[in-house]
Structure 1
Amino acid sequence: MTPLVKLLQAGILACFSVTCLAKPTIISNAKGYTLTNSGALIQFSHIAFDNGKILDIGDQSLINQFPNSRIIDANQKTLIPGLIDAHGHLLGLGATLLQVDVREDKSAIETAKHVSDYAKQNPQLAWVTGRGWNQVLWPGKAFPTAQQIDEYINETPVWLERVDGHAGWANSKALEIANITKDTIDPPGGKILRDEQGNPTGVLIDTAMYMLEKHLPKADKVFYQASLDAATEHLLSLGITSMHDAGISQSVYDFYQQKASANELKVRIYAMLAATDPQLSSMLEKGYVTDPSDFLSIRSVKVYGDGALGSRGAALFEGYADAPGNKGLLVTQESQLKSLFELILGHKFQLNYHAIGDRANRLALDQFAQTFKSIGGKNLRNRVEHAQVISLDDIPRFKQLSIIPAMQPTHATSDMNMAEDRVGKERLRGAYAWRRFVEQGTPIALGSDFPVELANPFYGIHAAVTRQDRNNMPQNGWIPSQALTIVETIKGFTIDAAYAAHQEDVLGGLTPGKWADFIIVDQDIFNVSPQDLWKTQVLETWVAGEPVFK
């Protein structure tokens, strides 16, 4: 027997043992819902898929249409498309799951005690790192100090990021290692909080954080892998099958490509290059990164406009209502925008600009308009990430310039306890203004900004529909005129999120030809009381026609 005949025989046996005998799968007896690309809601009871993609949806006639299928009874459970989080930080989530989480601590002292206990349980750590504090929720609402940590842990450096990632809290040991002293000058776009004598208090805002973070142990592939594994497991358990990773470095860019090439990604990633990375130009020169299985797509860049509202770093036209002399910070200076926009849009990469304050949003819109006139790029589905506090006159410009707002519903319900304090009632008219965008025909890509907020998408769905926290307060919702319907909200977490990533033909719904990414949940979210939406539990998650969580 010749080698060629042996090879052909081996191929035939392999075909019969695996691929050629594979049967389509039909999930039957489901309460199925999906949206078309135009946003129409479709209901179905049966869904057929094969080789990872949807064959058809419909009723029990699909069983006759695909007679050799494997049938799985959904027992009248609700089946919807896998949810897309349009703005998160994948490895940041994983890192948070692997370090001390102080989100639930009720004061600076309680946080310091928690960190001390964590350090004692992990004596091998050269640095103690964590995330989640929010002084707005503490008695007195004052920023914490290094001395508060020093009382409990002073020999090991400590660095705790604020919940929004736009400020950090260090102990004195960490400040010493970073050589941050009374004489250290605030960097452009950042601020070192100081006491009355000018000494650093321990809190660093926005770009000032980099002065300390460069001294942290460097993340390596082992840490990336551990973070990826932790984040992937968490997201799949919550029904998130795809996410938009808002700002990655070159090392993560390389890591993701290695994982995709080895078919080791389990959650789909639409990654944005960080405009701050020194290697941005070289990554742009390499062009788009694509994956035949659509687990990785890199064709966008995140530009960092301003800071966050909670740390008073969002860039405003007028001073903060509760700090009149402070107008916030620009992380990327206005003078840098023209060249940066031309670099990114000139390479045909989508540009996604972080803007929370009204000034930052205006700067983004103005620069988009100018760059479109000079070199084009309007068709790239460019985005403003957060689009949080906006002048009413600027909202129509999003549609005029074809800019997609990527917004996070739980930011509204988390910020409602301090937003009016920060900007006053008048400026809130254009803040967290989801309905204003929907009514003018602008698609909204919805997400959570995890780990800033909890990743559970049903918390965001509940917040979007009710404008309430998970205690269903305030009673009638916070600025309820801007609430979305359940269909509009699911559209934002599925087809509009896919559209914002140029992926609406393969993701975001369960129509024929798209990937079979879907979840089965314990209640009918289209008919349950809106106040109960956040309680939804994921029973099963499927990606590319394979069960990945149950």
Structure 2
Amino acid sequence: MTTTENHADLVFHGGRVLTLAGEFAPREAIAIRGGVVQAVGDDRDVRSLVGPRTEVIDLGGSTVIPGINDGHLHPVGIGTFRPPFTLSIGKEQVSSIADIRDVVARAVRDKAPGEWIRGFGWDVGYLAEGRTPSREDLDDIAPDHPVVLTQWSGHAAWVNSKALEIAGIGRDTAPPAGGEIVKDGRGEPTGILLEGAAWMMNAAIPPFTDAERREALVLATTMMRSEGITSFTDAGLDLGSIELYREAYAAGDIRQRGTLMVMASQVGDLREALLTVTATMKDAGVDPRFLTVDQVKIAADGVPTQARTAWMSEPYVGGGTGGPILPGETEAEQLATFREWVLTAHELGFQVGTHATGDRAIDVTVEMYEHAVAQLGDRGLRHYVIHSDFASPATLARMAAAGFGASFNPNIKRSTAHQLMDVVGRERIDYEWPYRTALHAGVVVASSSDAPVVHPSFREGIHTMLTRTSAVTGEVFGPGERIGLEEALRTYTVAGAHQDRAEDWKGTLAEGMAADLVVLGGDLLSLTPDEILDVPIEQTVIGGEIVYDAASAS
């Protein structure tokens, strides 16, 4: 017998509830009370918890899964790298350099001479001309407007001559460590800037105002709720951006659970910055289960795209191995900075996530983590490797033994695998993001989107884990690294919570866990991978509150 004291606030029944706690078998219903899961079971048992004020929702055969924990993305970038702030020039909008020229030309007509034109998303692998663009492609249509077009990965920029002029970048300009100003046969900049050289433009471009960034942040998190994302990690922020988050949460503008990473390269003295963050968040007035700043991000290398800036142990097709992009004039100085940052974060109780894509960068990252643990003890910090594209089986075994995690990006594989044959070769393309090898080794693998690099759709990520197919050609890349549906779902839920060191209160739908969940249209267990791509997200619930409902969304 129930009483009004234990009636549920919200009940879903008549569907399939996948708790991801224990046996991978569906239940029929779930009851929520006080923001946590009250009970999961068959319809009859759960409906006994329904009272006069309980909201009851008939699933009609739909599937409930734990909320999606996207462990690596950039919400402010999601918002600012799209209209009205930035031109959209990704593969969804354009298919050639000529198309991009048309988009920029239209923007020129709407702006006064001297106004900056920003764009985001170009991808050589999807351009009909089959070549890298240059400043000459922009100069004739925008002679009086500086233009900066950020590549889809965020690791390269395509700019025109006016932008180079304003930024003071010429044939004799020295790039920062780890960056490259691409030159033509005459020694002149082509307009392509890689890694740190692309960031040189930031000093010249008028920054977005705090109001614009706040608006972009709210737009991004609103969109994320429609994708079932209940928890996210913002992968790398300066102190001003962290304050922007604190204000937005305090005002009630953001309704997801956010974990923020302090970007080591953007805060000056890391020790001072982390002490400041700790003091500020102690009195932030925000529920730490909704906003926490307890991670540090370090960027060890670049990306294994046409830019060839990932740090590899074996040469790329055509030569070169990339290298570290850390501060320092020599590799020894760069690694000394890396070691100091990891030790500082570890000492102050901050988890470290390091961007490392090439196998050499991953090896060095693991060595840095092992050194910190040996010097200071484990402390339960669970440092992890971001991206981990080419982590070798031997290194994965070391990671598992030490409890270091990995954050993989299946959506990026789906988007890029078909175009990297001439960059890393077939064997490495097939292996890239080795889910089965990593899981077999015992590594806790979390999946994430890295949005705005790609759209933050966990459905696309699951499709990739199940099929390893290219979104463009349908070709399979690395069938031996496929995993099953349960394993794929766990990377977005259980493993995401583990990465956040929060698996004791979120990530599954067991009794007493946070009532963060997603309702998917239809029976997920009976869908093909292609059908999963298009399965609708009907509702998103965070802490027992329905924060997205497709039926009422505009």
TM-score normalised to the size of structure 1?
A: 0.91
- Counterpart CA distance in 2 for 1:504 and 1:287 is 24
Question: Percent same amino acid among aligned pairs?
Answer: 27
**Which among 254, 267, 272 is matched to residue 261 of structure 2?**
272
Q: Give the drift of 1:140.
A: 5.2
Instruction: Tell me whether 446-455 or 43-52 shows the greater mean CA deviation.
Output: 43-52
Q: Secondary structure at the match of 1:35?
A: coil
Match of 1:63 in 2: 47
236 and 46 in structure 1: CA distance in 2 versus 1, 3 angstrom threshold: same
| 1:284 matches 2:274 | yes
Match of 2:198 in 1: 209
| 1:219 matches 2:222 | no
What aligned pairs does 1:209-248 form with structure 2 within 5 A after superposition? 209-248=198-237
What aligned pairs does 1:46-61 form with structure 2 within 5 A after superposition? 46-59=29-42, 60-61=44-45
48 and 122 in structure 1: CA distance in 2 versus 1, 3 angstrom threshold: farther
Question: Any idea what the Cα deviations from partners look like across 1:156-195, whole Å, max 9, x if unmatched?
Answer: 1111111000001111111110010011012211000011
122 and 501 in structure 1: CA distance in 2 versus 1, 3 angstrom threshold: farther
- Counterpart CA distance in 2 for 1:96 and 1:547 is 28
- Counterpart CA distance in 2 for 1:20 and 1:225 is 40
Match of 1:12 in 2: none
**Which among 134, 142, 155 is matched to residue 166 of structure 1?**
155
Q: Secondary structure at the match of 1:436?
A: helix
- Counterpart CA distance in 1 for 2:548 and 2:55 is 19
Q: Secondary structure at the match of 1:169?
A: strand
**Which among 311, 323, 326 is matched to residue 329 of structure 1?**
323
423 and 282 in structure 1: CA distance in 2 versus 1, 3 angstrom threshold: same
| 1:318 matches 2:338 | no
244 and 64 in structure 1: CA distance in 2 versus 1, 3 angstrom threshold: same
Q: Give the drift of 1:50.
A: 2.3
What aligned pairs does 1:299-318 form with structure 2 within 5 A after superposition? 299-310=294-305, 311-318=307-314
- Counterpart CA distance in 2 for 1:137 and 1:178 is 29
Instruction: Give yes or no for contact 1:345–1:376 (8 Å, CA) kept in 2.
Output: no
- Counterpart CA distance in 2 for 1:25 and 1:124 is 56
| 1:380 matches 2:381 | yes
Instruction: Give yes or no for contact 2:8–2:38 (8 Å, CA) kept in 1.
Output: no
| 1:148 matches 2:148 | no
**Residue type of the alignment partner of 2:368:** Q
Alignment length, in residue pairs? 526
Superposition RMSD in Å? 2.2
Q: Give the drift of 1:342.
A: 0.9
- Counterpart CA distance in 2 for 1:118 and 1:41 is 52
Question: Any idea what the Cα deviations from partners look like across 1:16-38, whole Å, max 9, x if unmatched?
Answer: xxx999962212212211212xx
229 and 41 in structure 1: CA distance in 2 versus 1, 3 angstrom threshold: same
- Counterpart CA distance in 2 for 1:80 and 1:57 is 12
261 and 125 in structure 1: CA distance in 2 versus 1, 3 angstrom threshold: farther
Q: Give the drift of 1:241.
A: 1.5
353 and 148 in structure 1: CA distance in 2 versus 1, 3 angstrom threshold: same
Unaligned 5+ segments in structure 1 are: 1-18
Instruction: Give yes or no for contact 1:24–1:48 (8 Å, CA) kept in 2.
Output: yes
Match of 2:344 in 1: 343
**Which among 178, 181, 185 is matched to residue 189 of structure 1?**
178
Question: Any idea what the Cα deviations from partners look like across 1:383-403, whole Å, max 9, x if unmatched?
Answer: 100000133332211112211
- Counterpart CA distance in 1 for 2:375 and 2:145 is 53
Question: Any idea what the Cα deviations from partners look like across 1:106-141, whole Å, max 9, x if unmatched?
Answer: 222221221222343455993111211111222454
**Residue type of the alignment partner of 1:175:** L
- Counterpart CA distance in 2 for 1:506 and 1:283 is 29
126 and 396 in structure 1: CA distance in 2 versus 1, 3 angstrom threshold: same
Question: Any idea what the Cα deviations from partners look like across 1:355-412, whole Å, max 9, x if unmatched?
Answer: 0111111110111122211122462111100000133332211112211010011222
Instruction: Give yes or no for contact 1:346–1:377 (8 Å, CA) kept in 2.
Output: no
Match of 2:359 in 1: 358
**Residue type of the alignment partner of 1:259:** A
| 1:527 matches 2:526 | yes
440 and 318 in structure 1: CA distance in 2 versus 1, 3 angstrom threshold: closer
Instruction: Give yes or no for contact 1:390–1:430 (8 Å, CA) kept in 2.
Output: no
Q: Give the drift of 1:261.
A: 2.5
431 and 507 in structure 1: CA distance in 2 versus 1, 3 angstrom threshold: same
**Residue type of the alignment partner of 2:325:** V
- Counterpart CA distance in 1 for 2:301 and 2:292 is 26
506 and 263 in structure 1: CA distance in 2 versus 1, 3 angstrom threshold: farther
- Counterpart CA distance in 1 for 2:510 and 2:145 is 55
Match of 2:331 in 1: none
Q: Give the drift of 1:426.
A: 4.5
Question: Any idea what the Cα deviations from partners look like across 1:201-253, whole Å, max 9, x if unmatched?
Answer: 11110011121111111232211211112201211111112111111111111
**Residue type of the alignment partner of 1:231:** A
- Counterpart CA distance in 1 for 2:418 and 2:470 is 11
Instruction: Give yes or no for contact 2:218–2:254 (8 Å, CA) kept in 1.
Output: no
- Counterpart CA distance in 1 for 2:388 and 2:314 is 17
Question: Any idea what the Cα deviations from partners look like across 1:30-49, whole Å, max 9, x if unmatched?
Answer: 2211212xx64242222111
**Residue type of the alignment partner of 2:235:** A
Q: Secondary structure at the match of 2:47?
A: helix
Q: Secondary structure at the match of 1:41?
A: coil
Q: Give the drift of 1:58.
A: 1.3
Instruction: Give yes or no for contact 1:466–1:531 (8 Å, CA) kept in 2.
Output: no
Match of 2:89 in 1: 102
425 and 392 in structure 1: CA distance in 2 versus 1, 3 angstrom threshold: farther
- Counterpart CA distance in 1 for 2:497 and 2:112 is 44
- Counterpart CA distance in 1 for 2:39 and 2:353 is 34
Q: Secondary structure at the match of 1:331?
A: coil
- Counterpart CA distance in 2 for 1:110 and 1:102 is 9
- Counterpart CA distance in 1 for 2:28 and 2:273 is 45
TM-score normalised to the size of structure 2?
A: 0.90
Match of 2:14 in 1: 29
Q: Secondary structure at the match of 1:84?
A: strand
- Counterpart CA distance in 2 for 1:100 and 1:202 is 18
121 and 524 in structure 1: CA distance in 2 versus 1, 3 angstrom threshold: farther
